[in-house]
Amino acid sequence: MSVVPAESTAASRRQLLDSPFLAALAGKRPSRRPVWFMRQAGRSLPEYRALRAGRDMLETCLDPELVCEITLQPVRRHSVDAAILFSDIVVPLKTSGVGVVIKPGVGPVIDAPVRTRADIDALPSPSPEGLEPVGEAVGSLIAELGQTPLIGFAGAPFTLASYLVEGGPSKHHATTKALMAAEPETFAALLEKLADFTISFLKVQLAAGVDAVQVFDSWVGALTLADYRRHVLPHTQRVFAEISEFGVPGIHFGVNTGHLLGAMAESGARVIGADWRTPLTEAAKAVGPGFGLQGNLDPALLLAPRPALEAETRRVLAEADAALALGASGHVFNLGHGVLPETDPGALTAVVDLVHNQPVGE
């Protein structure tokens, strides 16, 4: 697949002049408070579960018609201010020939864990051609979404590395951290190669027309600040640098990263996501003035009785206003991580309605 030059896609990119989401990302005053949810497309929706019944996750991610329908489902149901492409961070690995499956209730599982320099050298190169269905899905979505922006995404090199080294999901990432400490040059070679996958995945989406991107470094919060700066940040900076020519806003998010937010603001992203553990005022101080913030309602609170959920939503909005007063350039309401599978979709719709009906913060 040939990727359209960035300068041509930037020049021809659709203009969504009334998008509250894009206005907040750009540091402008939105017409209403924008809101979307990580993992809004998927497991909490009965229409999604009906569509996915009997279908493999990664095969679904490479079926443009299914991707389009699943991505649109939460936009129809909740009236969120942005859609996020239905996909998975391991899709570029799968399409390039890496043995990976997504096991229900477990997550990505790697056939042959990568733990030596020989393992790294044996990894295939990214295959943009294998990602053609993703580009096709993005194109269809742009035509369907009208004035609703579409967010593309990819996994950051460290989080991809954690799956490859551990062989699957891990609570402590012990094998990954041990490799990083014992063989830093080997670990750097792995992250360099995985950055190629991240960049390739993002460029396919950007060339097809996504309006913003989010880079998930979901598990980087397991690292110390010193290790993050030494071993991870340079590779994330390369990712954002190589997509900057597209002129599309970038969001960077990780879980349990309160101690890393200041360094994450050096990644090249202009908007930093905070999980629920870090108050937005503290996030604003950590990243400094001029950065947008995204977050940060605890996903578990969507399971609480409606009065408690509404009170916590208002609290987050008040913190967002205080963060703006501290110099944050904008705020997008979101969760502090993804929607839990047992969430009542009605709770999400209620949060959207509440956020949209609150006055826009200064």
Instruction: Measure the CA–CA gap between 138 and 141, rounded to whole angstroms.
Output: 5
150 near 92, Cβ under 8 Å? no
Query: Closest by alpha carbon to 249, among 319, 128, 153, 356?
Result: 153
194 near 160, Cβ under 8 Å? yes
Q: Between vectors from CA 188 to CA 258 and to CA 196, what angle results, nearest 5°?
A: 90
Annotated active-site residue in 33, 77, 163, 227: 163
Q: Known catalytic residue: 228?
A: no
Chain centroid offset of residue 256 CA:
15
Q: Known catalytic residue: 163?
A: yes
Q: Known catalytic residue: 43?
A: yes
158 near 238, Cβ under 8 Å? no
Annotated active-site residue in 33, 77, 81, 88: 88
347 near 302, Cβ under 8 Å? yes
Chain centroid offset of residue 166 CA:
21
DSSP character for 303?
A: G
CA dihedral 58, 60, 63, 65 (to 10 degrees): -160
Contacts 24+ apart (CB under 8 A), 47-54: 47/73, 47/77, 48/73
For strands 330-335 and 150-155, give the pairing.
Answer: unpaired
The identity of residue 294, as a single letter, is Q
Q: Known catalytic residue: 52?
A: yes
H/E element holding 197?
A: helix 184-208
For strands 212-216 and 292-297, give the pairing.
Answer: unpaired
- Facing residues of 330 across strands? 292
Annotated active-site residue in 13, 32, 52, 230: 52
Annotated active-site residue in 32, 43, 230, 277: 43
* Neighbouring C-alpha atoms within 13 Å toward the C-beta of 321: 12
Annotated active-site residue in 33, 39, 77, 238: 39
Q: Known catalytic residue: 88?
A: yes
Which are the catalytic amino acids?
Answer: 39, 43, 52, 88, 163
